[in-house]
Amino acid sequence: MDKKTTVEAIKALGITRKTLLTILLYHPELRPGQPPRPLTLVCCNYVLWSEAEIEGVRAHCARHKREYLAS
């Protein structure tokens, strides 16, 4: 199973890093399954994402598209 970096995940999702961090702060269930650490922009850069985890965030963004277009 190939994992992607956060930068690759952001490009695949078509959102900004700030938007991704906001989503992960409010929806911890969408965070990638790795050892828990405090969620910061720096920490978020070194996380590896599976396709399933990226798809989970993509589905969330699709449900709340209007909110994320404004940010």
User: What local confidence, expressed as pLDDT, does residue 1 receive?
Assistant: 59
Specify whether the CB–CB gap between 29 and 60 falls below 8 A.
no
Residues of the chain with pLDDT under 50: none
User: What local confidence, expressed as pLDDT, does residue 28 receive?
Assistant: 86
Q: Residue 34's beta-bridge partner residues?
A: none
The encoded tokens of residue 18 equal 């700030």
What 14-17 contacts at long range (C-beta under 8 Å, 24+ apart), as own/partner pairs, is: 15/61, 15/68, 16/71, 17/41, 17/44
- Domain coverage including residue 47: 4-70
User: What local confidence, expressed as pLDDT, does residue 32 receive?
Assistant: 85
Q: Rounded distance, CA 50 to CA 36, Å? A: 16
Domain count, the chain: 1
User: What local confidence, expressed as pLDDT, does residue 46 receive?
Assistant: 74
